[in-house]
Amino acid sequence: DGGITQSPKYLFRKEGQNVTLSCEQNLNHDAMYWYRQDPGQGLRLIYYSQIVNDFQKGDIAEGYSVSREKKESFPLTVTSAQKNPTAFYLCASSPDRGTDTQYFGPGTRLTVL
Amino acid sequence: QKEVEQDPGPLSVPEGAIVSLNCTYSNSAFQYFMWYRQYSRKGPELLMYTYSSGNKEDGRFTAQVDKSSKYISLFIRDSQPSDSATYLCAMTIYTGNQFYFGTGTSLTVIP
């Protein structure tokens, strides 16, 4: 089955701790994205990567970091510098200039205790 | 001004009604247009995808793009309670680049 997987589905973190969210895709897509979704605010772009070993900041990158060492994987680290990390995090991927579009993973719900 | 504007609703309709969801945008460079359906606490699911002006039909769903007016619509015919979800419009200049999303419209179809 081709698709995007995110793990874990639910994640709890104590204040002051860094935490890493996993995102893997087997669609052979070049581009990958991380979004944050809060009630009433729609999707906000955190980071995106169009190619391995390269990524760009989105609208709300502060307090987050990413890596893109493999085409299939785009992990997101939520650092202790992120002041309000409790949210629903969505990973997506798309081909680069292809005829297909962007697809989403099932999401990770992060709660800071 | 936001790149993409979408009425957040909420929208409530009786079962069997025709639903019209709309988005406007400001960037004339957008070429690819999408509609996603999102159930509560799930990832958005791609419903419709088009890269030209005009209508595209898929079952009960019709996507309409008017590039001259910078306006896109999603029509749902014979709406069902299972259509109750949040609908997000999205668009991009080219795939692989940044995608721009509306804030989503919450739809409830009442049996």
State whether B103 and A42 contact (CB < 8 Å). Answer: yes
B23/B89 Cα distance (integer angstroms): 7
- The answer to whether the CB atoms of B99 and A94 lie below 8 A apart is yes
Digit-coded pLDDT (tens) for A98-109: 777 899 999 999
What is the total residue count of chain A?
A: 113
What pLDDT shows up at residue A93?
Answer: 96
d(CA A85, CA A77): 11
Tens-place pLDDT, residues B4-29: 999 888 999 999 999 999 999 999 99
**What is the per-residue pLDDT across A64-105, written as a single tens digit (0 to 9) for each?**
999 999 999 999 999 998 989 999 999 999 988 777 789 999
Separation CA A84–CA A15 (nearest Å): 10
pLDDT of residue A33: 96
Residue B1, pLDDT above cutoff 90:
no
Amino acid A63 reads: G
The reply to whether A106 touches chain B by the CB within 8 Å rule is: yes
User: Is A60 an interface residue toward B (CB < 8 Å)?
Assistant: no
CB contact under 8 A, A50 and B97: yes
Based on the number of CB atoms within 10 Å of its own CB, is B106 exposed (0-12), middle (13-18) or buried (19 or more)?
middle
> Which of chain A's residues have a Cβ under 8 Å away from the Cβ of B34?
101-102
Query: Six-digit token pair at A73?
Result: 């994987």
Q: What gap in Å lies between CA B52 and CA A56, rounded to an integer?
A: 28
Q: Is the CB of residue A39 less than 8 Å away from at least one CB of chain B?
A: no
Alpha helices in chain B (DSSP H): none
Q: What is the pLDDT of residues B69-79, one digit of tens each?
A: 999 999 999 99
- Model confidence pLDDT, tens digit, residues A18-51: 999 999 999 999 999 999 999 877 899 999 999 9
* Mean pLDDT of the region B45-68: 94
Confidence of residue A1 (pLDDT cuts 50, 70, 90): low
Using DSSP, state whether B82 is helix, strand or coil.
Answer: helix
Q: Which residues of B touch A32 (CB under 8 A)?
A: none
CA distance B6 to B52: 20
Residue B73, burial from CB neighbour count under 10 angstroms (0-12, 13-18, 19+) = middle
